[in-house]
Structure 1
Amino acid sequence: MSRIRPRLIVSQHLLAAADARIAQDYDTPPAPDHKLTEDELVAQAQAFRPDAVVVTSSTPVSAATVAALPDSVRVIATISVGTDHLDIPAILARGITLTNTPDVLTDCNADMAMLLILAASRRAKEYLALVDSGWGRSLGLDEMLGTRVTGKTLGIIGMGRIGRALARRARGFEMKVLYSNRRRLAPDQEEGATYFADPREMLPHCDVLSLHMPGSKDGKPVMTAELFGLLPRGAIFVNAARGSLVDEDALIAALKDGQLAGAGLDVCRNEPNPDPRLLALPNLFLTPHVGSATVETRTDMCMLALDNVDAVLAGRPALTPVAG
């Protein structure tokens, strides 16, 4: 007699290994050929009555969506670390377990932050533009000079898993590491980094500043004209965290007037349609929110989401639950 398999829906097409696991272990409708909207997710959930819903950051789960989900749903697993797209109180109030995928993308996001530091410091966008145009001439000895990274001082706002992983990479470039965090880390986690309770006191010492913190719930930026102005003139700014953390008008002004020599972003406020003024800046290196975009990491994220679903539906505690 065949066992009754749990029912699951996903908000978008996943990686092949995850699709194969779902096909083996779950009853599920065909994977969508696009990222589901909230209305589409609700319609599919009401029609299919799943035990579990797997989403990504591309499909919000608002209070209205939560209210419209059938009582069959026991767990929502997001394939992301961030939870900005989820109404956590509404989900938990319905007694639905919520999980995310921390840890497995730490190294790839730290690698991306280091890439952005190097690209912004060494004028990668301008070099690529020159080569793409055919190159065609020798550069002068004093032309298109970047900024050396080795030996500089790196400031990190948000010294969680990714911030600490970036600090380890920066030490390979003999960088001095400063950080500001909601609380001071234990000495073994600091690994010699210097703590500042107030980021405003840290910024004047930073040749490079990198953000590694969640987006604010009220959408207010952390990096404003005031804070950009506290950095040494000619500093490098990097954001591989959340676009909502930055006042983009202030960032653009700082890049245009030389307060910042360059910036590297993997995120922006209006994704996937960034402010055209950002795209026009020669000293801004922008990637399309791909910090976790490796085969290994995206597969691990999918598998952790499914591990969470398996645990909850089997009556075990979730591996990586999101608390209220």
Structure 2
Amino acid sequence: MKPKVYITRKIPDETLALISEVCEVALWEQEDLPVPYEVLEKAVVEVDGIYSLLTDNIDEALISKAKNLKVISNMAVGFNNIDLKAATARGIMVTNTPGVLTETTADLTFALLLATARRLVESSDFLREGKWKTWSPMLLTGQDVYGATLGIIGMGRIGEALAKRAKGFDMRIIYHNRNRKPAVEKELNAEYVDLDVLLKESDFVVIMTPFTPETVNLIGKRELSLMKKTAVLINTARGGIVNEKALYNALVKGEIWAAGLDVFEEEPVPLDNPLLSLPNVVALPHIGSASKKTRMTMANLAAENLLQALAGKTPPNLVNVDLLKG
């Protein structure tokens, strides 16, 4: 008898075929909308596995309804949408897809940095709206990237990849992390500093840290006040790491120069979010890993995690490794 699997969003046909070959599959087919909680709540009762996305809230209440659930395979690096403690308590494996999106996300982060610094979106809109009348010495002037100081908060895989790109722009690289990384410091000539020092000295502050209880509102009013008036804040990590109200006020008051955001506290971001009204904010719809190659790799890795777990094996990307100690 095939194990039962629920897939919370339409996934590539190739990936679906891999899973369907060995599993009985049910899925939410409305590609552009997350599965409603109440639908997932009913689906989870009898299934052996869930193939989920970050948009799915798999909390303790939902997990408690599962009778046969063995694995939750998240097609994402993050897993803050899953109650890890509740899953572990019930012996349910939780997996993710790390590593495969490192370079793609670093590319997008540096692109967002460049676009924000040089006002690319604002300039494109200026041209398309017919406002460009003549060349002017100070028209739409931005901030220099080459030779500037880059401050990275969270020197994980993506942070390291970003630093490598910054090295090509001859940027001074400083970073703050839970632990120092001497090998990275040596390879990239990066300097470990206190968070306040990073905020004070950076021309570009890039948030790369995971979203944890410790990093909620890590960047708020006090932290923004430490930054240079010419500084740019870039966030491609998670929205809740930055206090959006404080960021809006800092931008309006000119306490910092601009912000580039791929993530928001609420996603999709409401169109009445005041940050979207500011010309010095470049806003993207959470597309950090959105290259065709990377998304296909993520999808297939999530499938591999799922199938390995259902086969009674240890999946390659087990998050709650404490289960192995049992």
**Whole-angstrom distance in 1 between the partners of 2:101 and 2:47:** 28
Query: Could you say what secondary structure the match of 1:312 adopts?
Result: helix
Query: Could you say what secondary structure the match of 1:77 adopts?
Result: strand
In the TM superposition, what is the alpha-carbon distance from 1:103 to its structure 2 partner? 0.6
Partner of 1:211: 207
Partner of 1:134: 130
Deviations 1:186-227 (A, max 9, x none): 32565221001x201222110100000122327730111111
Worse overlay, 61-70 or 208-217: 208-217
Deviations 1:246-274 (A, max 9, x none): 11122112212222221100011121134
**Whole-angstrom distance in 2 between the partners of 1:88 and 1:175:** 38
Residue 237 of structure 1 pairs with residue 238 of structure 2: no
Partner of 1:103: 99
2:9 to 9, 12, 15: 12
> What percent of counterpart residues are identical?
34
Worse overlay, 57-66 or 270-279: 270-279
Deviations 1:76-100 (A, max 9, x none): 1011111121110001100111101
In the TM superposition, what is the alpha-carbon distance from 1:143 to its structure 2 partner? 1.6
- Length, aligned pairs only: 317
Let me know the Cα RMSD of the aligned residues.
Answer: 1.7
Partner of 1:37: 36
Residue 120 of structure 1 pairs with residue 116 of structure 2: yes
2:28–2:35 CA contact under 8 A, matched in 1 = no
1:64 to 52, 57, 61: 61
- Structure 2 unaligned segments of length 5 or more: list them: none
- Structure 1 unaligned segments of length 5 or more: list them: none
In the TM superposition, what is the alpha-carbon distance from 1:316 to its structure 2 partner? 1.8
TM-score normalised to structure 1 length: 0.93
Residue 266 of structure 1 pairs with residue 262 of structure 2: yes
**Whole-angstrom distance in 1 between the partners of 2:260 and 2:216:** 20
**Whole-angstrom distance in 1 between the partners of 2:26 and 2:225:** 53
**Whole-angstrom distance in 1 between the partners of 2:184 and 2:285:** 34
Query: Could you say what secondary structure the match of 1:264 adopts?
Result: strand
Residue 221 of structure 1 pairs with residue 240 of structure 2: no
- What letter is aligned with 2:298? M
Residues 238 and 9 (structure 1 numbering): CA distance in 2 closer, same or farther, change over 3 Å? same
- What letter is aligned with 1:27? E
- What letter is aligned with 1:164? E
Residue 250 of structure 1 pairs with residue 249 of structure 2: no
2:299 to 297, 302, 307: 302
- What letter is aligned with 1:297? T
**Whole-angstrom distance in 2 between the partners of 1:88 and 1:14:** 24
- What letter is aligned with 1:85? N
In the TM superposition, what is the alpha-carbon distance from 1:12 to its structure 2 partner? 1.0
2:74 to 56, 68, 78: 78
1:164–1:189 CA contact under 8 A, matched in 2 = no
Partner of 2:165: 169
